[in-house]
Structure 1
Amino acid sequence: MTAPVPVAPPATFAFLVHPRADVAADMARVWRPLGLVPEGVWRSALRHLPLPTLPLAGVHRRMPGSAGSGDVNDSPLGHVLVVPVGARQLLCEDRRWVIGKIEQAVDHAVELGASVVGLGALTAPVTAGGRLLRERPGVTFTTGNAFTAHLTVEALRRLLPAAPGGHVAVVGATGSVGSCVVRMLADEPLGTEVTLIAREPKRLAALAQEVTATLTRNGETLTVRTARTMDAVRRADLVVILTSAADALLRSEHLKPGAVVLDDTQPRNTDPTLATHRPDVLVVDGGVAAVPGIDVRGDIGLPRGLAYACLCETMLMALEGQRAHAVGTADVAHARRMRDAARRHSDLGFTLAEPALSFGRPVPWPTAAPVLLGRVG
């Protein structure tokens, strides 16, 4: 009788996050009393004290047929770790110090047995998409941006019925996620017009030229425009924001009546007052996937059964045993590989969150103009 071949457990992963705009609130997710520390004290402590990498959550596979929160596999798939550096510090402090703190977190991830390390939120752009991190034998890095781009395109297609004018604006079009989204939309266009918004003129012009060439080759008639300021957003019916800023860039004065917004940023770049000051506008939180087969033991800022797309890509690469880095700018080929991997692991989820979230609160995916949905928030 042939002995059964042992099934190797999936590679363990670690996903790096950091405190966002409200440092105290995010540190309270690690341990509630930390939320009592004043914001100013936190900013100083994060910069001047040798704070270690902090555990935020363990990620486990839910057993088939389980219902209660305890009915999960106690062998973790991976870990979510907090890099003790605030969002503004990541963008503004000395780059060597910032990267040093992220390197420490990667070292901690390796100590936990991680073979795949995901760079969440701003840890990706400040390390040039992971390219500035030193190589470690047996460790694969990913920004998570490819699966984020895939889910963003899926969400835009779901939101298009609420934007009957069909004018789509992509803010942060030349970034890692943004350029991948734009290239995917060139292959399978939606709407009637797209405006690409970014600050760097040469990269913006080159991307627009590439997209126009793809559309022409495919016989599509989508109009492509470019802009370098947020003023251009005012003409758009559907806006997706994909920047790497620490502050709210998209405010009430930037949006036309009845506009639909997909905010795919962490920390978020939409003004929270939109939820109450602009009841005609629908703001949907982007990059969120349903993962009913995964149990996240910890507070990552999402309802149970949901996870950010960048975290999902890290999980998928570990489950697939992928050993090629996914660093730098996300590319369409990897986005499609992650889409296919998600389908292979559909028992765990990895689909667009249903219902959608708006500033963290559930809202239905729209089938008509957002004014029909009433006030959000």
Structure 2
Amino acid sequence: EMYRGAFRQFGGMNVTWIKPGDADSLRESVAAEAATTYALAADAEKRLQLVERRWSRVVAMFVEPVQGEGGIHVMGADFLAAARALASENQFPLVLDEVQSGMGRCGSFIASHRLGLRGDYYGFAKSLGGGISKVGALLIERERYQPDFGVIHTSTFAEDDYSCLLALKALEILERDELAARCDESGSYLLGRLRELQGRYPTVIKEVRGMGLMVGVELAEQSQSPSGLIRLASSQQALSHLATGYLLNEEGVRVGLTLSLLNTIRLEPSAYVRRADLDRVVGAFERLCQVIERANAGRLVRYMAGVRSGGSAEPVADWRGRLDANLAAFEEPSGEPQVAFLSHLMETSSLVLWDASLAEIPAERRDAFLRGIHRVVKPAVTRQFRIRSAAGAAVHMRVVSWIATSSLIEEALRAGDTEWLDEQIDEMVEEMRREGCRTVGFGGYLSIVSQNCKRAAVPGVALTTGNAFTVAIGLEALRHGARERGIDLAASRLGCVGAAGNICSTYLRLMAEDVPRLLLIGRAQSRLRLVKAAAALYQDAWERISRQRPEELTGLARAVFETRSVRRLIEGDARPSSPGEWLFDSLHEEFGGHHFVQLSEEMSALSDCEIVVTASNSATPIIFPEHLSPRPTVICDISVPADVSPSVAEQRPDVLVLRGGIVRLPDNDELVLKEVMLPPGHVFACLAETALLGMEGYPHNFSFGEITKAEVEWIREVARRRGFGLGYVTAQKTF
């Protein structure tokens, strides 16, 4: 399609494409161009008559006897006979393109001769220059040739002595060494050996085609391969690219692709190729077939990570029985609402969770592999499954994955180099809309890149970051952890890392209803946003004080109620336009610092917090044992990948680290998302929110831009009604 599209830009040009070798379609296409004109003419008696003349609008027909870039298709006898007959009947010339198939490559000087086809024009190039010079030549039937053509039409680079001398020498060698016969003999042997290979590996090789030493090997599609990478490459017509790279780097065999049929590998060796070399090529193809059949993507692409080949004697490991069959299972929609979720790899180690065979790439080389492919490999649907509610309602979920880690996307964000990602996001949202998805959710760093979906708005589809339900389920996890550790929220201090962000600022406002003191941690450049978040907390506290009786107050509102600053507001001594901002400044002056809501850039400030929520945008851990309180502590880590270092669990058994935002589905125990290290029947809250919105038929964007307390409360109620609850919360990776 990418090659055909270029022809559509010419206004008024009628272009028809037909399947190679389809004689009936060829006849229909030529017949469609038949035209009739009428003219006045005088007969012998000088009477005017209307004379009918039938003619064809076709000015010429171009045919490759053996298609090159089209996939090495040898045109059949019926098709070629039809082409010759149509050209003769309609009086337009038949132009034969022998640029690739000529010069003996197909077993005779021109392939058309071997196929019994005579043309009016013949085009030659490439091998005519003997591999040294670029030269082309046109052979024309004598009765069609215009003698003045060569005089009137000139070219700076035409008919130069150097190229013509080399072309003449190439023709001399062609005849002297009987190269056409060599190509015929070697080609017959190679085609025979490759067809034997096809018989042994029918799930890998779809077809072997060709004539002489112009050979094509078409790879079969691999939609059912247990290997995630092989499936993905096949779906994007990139498997042949990986295969040719494997053959070159692992086997020392250089081959090419056909440009218009990308799943076909082209073999066009020299006419002087030895039988032993052909055997070596067939052996290399057999090992390639083993690699693909055995779902060994690691062996297929390890050269891209700089892993050196072990040679042809190195056995090919079989990964078919060791890969997760669930990853290849695609449930098709059956009438239920459709939704989609955009995701990416959490970290480099996630690569082998998605495709275990990539463990053949050493761990220290996998990052280099991902860096090499993450912008080239397009995102694609990697999972399709059904999610059901407790009452039996269902949605069909498509998971679209980017083969890029959080750290790679973070690097692009910091460098301001996200145009490639923006384009891919827009394309995938539009594709999911065309597939019938009513809601599209954004996971991980994709919500950050899209500025909480605002840069990816597409008419006709609702978007969500899933942040509202992430907050709702995280709050439940946090309260669960506090009860388990015996921590009284009313007497504790909450530390929030990434407090300037959308998720954490909402956590703070909701937790401030229970917790009297809060710590907001953020980067220096986010200071103004931290101040704004602190002012919002005081504004909420003042509004609660204004509408509730003193004995009903809890959390931050109760803590500040007895202060002199709040008394001034209650008694009317101060009437600021923004009570929250005024309280932020007044309480700082009253207590000589930020006593109730503290701002900091240092992780060490967490040492006075019994409750911690962390939702930074860091791709690597930022919270370590030395940062934490010596008292029992609960941490709710919402970040993916995690903000909390594994060393916390190792060195601080009194610290409970919870994976925030994990949801247990009500009736989906068969669903296993091992690629994101979740136990059966569990998903991330952002994906769960996407499913819930689909079940509800919610037609608008949700968790779009800044989330609100109202959104958190609404989605929490929807989840309760649908049976979506708090999931497995421990942070230890035991599944």
TM-score by length of 1: 0.82
1:33-77 per-residue CA deviation (whole Å, 9 max, x = no partner) reads 2343431332332345x2122333323145989xxxxxx99x861
Query: 2:730 is paired with a residue of what secondary structure?
Result: strand
Counterpart for residue 366 of structure 1: none
Query: 1:234 is paired with a residue of what secondary structure?
Result: helix
Corresponding position: 1:196 with 2:520: yes
Counterpart for residue 221 of structure 1: 558
Task: Give the one of 230, 233, 241 matched to 2:614.
Answer: 241
Counterpart for residue 254 of structure 1: 627
1:138-169 per-residue CA deviation (whole Å, 9 max, x = no partner) reads 21110000011111222222222323451111
Report the number of matched residues: 338
Query: Structure 2 vs 1, CA of residues 319 and 63 (structure 1 numbering), >3 Å: closer, same or farther?
Result: closer
Distance 1:54 1:283 in 2: 33
Distance 2:538 2:628 in 1: 26
Distance 2:428 2:645 in 1: 30
Query: Structure 2 vs 1, CA of residues 40 and 150 (structure 1 numbering), >3 Å: closer, same or farther?
Result: closer
What code does the residue aligned with 2:514 have? L
Distance 1:242 1:63 in 2: 28
Distance 2:356 2:540 in 1: 51
| Superposition deviation, residue 26 in structure 1 | 1.9
Counterpart for residue 338 of structure 2: 12
Distance 1:322 1:62 in 2: 17
Distance 1:64 1:283 in 2: 29
Distance 2:680 2:381 in 1: 18
What code does the residue aligned with 1:119 have? F
Counterpart for residue 44 of structure 1: 371
| Superposition deviation, residue 108 in structure 1 | 4.2
CA contact (8 A) 1:10 1:320 kept: no
Corresponding position: 1:332 with 2:712: no
Task: Give the one of 131, 142, 148 matched to 2:464.
Answer: 142
CA contact (8 A) 2:494 2:515 kept: yes
Larger Rg: 2
Distance 1:41 1:168 in 2: 39
Q: How does 1:317-328 map to 2 (within 5 A)?
A: 317-326=693-702, 327-328=704-705
Query: Structure 2 vs 1, CA of residues 239 and 82 (structure 1 numbering), >3 Å: closer, same or farther?
Result: same
Corresponding position: 1:126 with 2:453: no
What code does the residue aligned with 1:31 have? D
CA contact (8 A) 1:58 1:296 kept: no
Distance 1:357 1:29 in 2: 19
Query: Structure 2 vs 1, CA of residues 168 and 298 (structure 1 numbering), >3 Å: closer, same or farther?
Result: closer
CA contact (8 A) 1:54 1:84 kept: no
What code does the residue aligned with 2:625 have? S
CA contact (8 A) 2:433 2:460 kept: no
Query: Structure 2 vs 1, CA of residues 64 and 198 (structure 1 numbering), >3 Å: closer, same or farther?
Result: closer
1:74-107 per-residue CA deviation (whole Å, 9 max, x = no partner) reads x861122211222122122212122223334334
Distance 2:475 2:642 in 1: 18
Distance 2:672 2:654 in 1: 36
Counterpart for residue 293 of structure 2: none
Corresponding position: 1:179 with 2:466: no
Distance 1:63 1:271 in 2: 35
1:110-142 per-residue CA deviation (whole Å, 9 max, x = no partner) reads 354322111001111111111111x33321110
| Superposition deviation, residue 352 in structure 1 | 1.0
Distance 2:477 2:438 in 1: 30
TM-score by length of 2: 0.43
Counterpart for residue 109 of structure 1: 432
What code does the residue aligned with 2:402 have? V
Counterpart for residue 305 of structure 1: 681
Query: 2:666 is paired with a residue of what secondary structure?
Result: coil
What code does the residue aligned with 2:357 have? P
| Superposition deviation, residue 196 in structure 1 | 1.7
CA contact (8 A) 1:57 1:298 kept: no
What code does the residue aligned with 1:128 have? Q
Counterpart for residue 296 of structure 1: 671
What code does the residue aligned with 1:41 have? A
1:271-321 per-residue CA deviation (whole Å, 9 max, x = no partner) reads 112221222322111111111323535433200011111111111111111
What code does the residue aligned with 2:502 have? S
Counterpart for residue 385 of structure 2: 59
Distance 1:108 1:91 in 2: 25
Corresponding position: 1:359 with 2:732: yes
Query: 1:337 is paired with a residue of what secondary structure?
Result: helix
| Superposition deviation, residue 218 in structure 1 | 1.6
Distance 1:116 1:254 in 2: 40
1:167-196 per-residue CA deviation (whole Å, 9 max, x = no partner) reads 11111122111111122224xx22332112
Query: 1:261 is paired with a residue of what secondary structure?
Result: strand
Query: Structure 2 vs 1, CA of residues 290 and 63 (structure 1 numbering), >3 Å: closer, same or farther?
Result: closer
Structure with the bigger RCO (C-alpha within 8 Å, sep 6+) is 1
What code does the residue aligned with 2:519 have? T
| Superposition deviation, residue 345 in structure 1 | 1.1
Distance 1:322 1:217 in 2: 31
Distance 2:378 2:435 in 1: 14
| Superposition deviation, residue 266 in structure 1 | 0.6
Distance 1:109 1:84 in 2: 18
Query: Structure 2 vs 1, CA of residues 312 and 159 (structure 1 numbering), >3 Å: closer, same or farther?
Result: same
Distance 1:80 1:32 in 2: 19
Distance 2:432 2:721 in 1: 26
- Structure 1: gaps spanning 5 or more residues: 1-7, 66-71, 363-377
1:316-351 per-residue CA deviation (whole Å, 9 max, x = no partner) reads 1111111211211221111112112112212xxx11
Query: Structure 2 vs 1, CA of residues 76 and 56 (structure 1 numbering), >3 Å: closer, same or farther?
Result: farther
What code does the residue aligned with 1:26 have? S
CA contact (8 A) 2:339 2:395 kept: no
Query: 2:437 is paired with a residue of what secondary structure?
Result: coil
Query: 1:152 is paired with a residue of what secondary structure?
Result: helix
CA contact (8 A) 2:380 2:402 kept: yes
Counterpart for residue 660 of structure 2: 286
Query: 2:455 is paired with a residue of what secondary structure?
Result: coil
CA contact (8 A) 1:160 1:191 kept: no
Distance 1:20 1:61 in 2: 22
Query: 2:641 is paired with a residue of what secondary structure?
Result: coil
Counterpart for residue 290 of structure 2: none
Query: 1:191 is paired with a residue of what secondary structure?
Result: coil
Counterpart for residue 638 of structure 2: 264
Q: Percent identity?
A: 25
Query: Structure 2 vs 1, CA of residues 64 and 218 (structure 1 numbering), >3 Å: closer, same or farther?
Result: closer
Distance 2:623 2:700 in 1: 35
Distance 1:35 1:76 in 2: 34
Task: Give the one of 720, 726, 730 matched to 1:343.
Answer: 720
Distance 1:209 1:330 in 2: 17
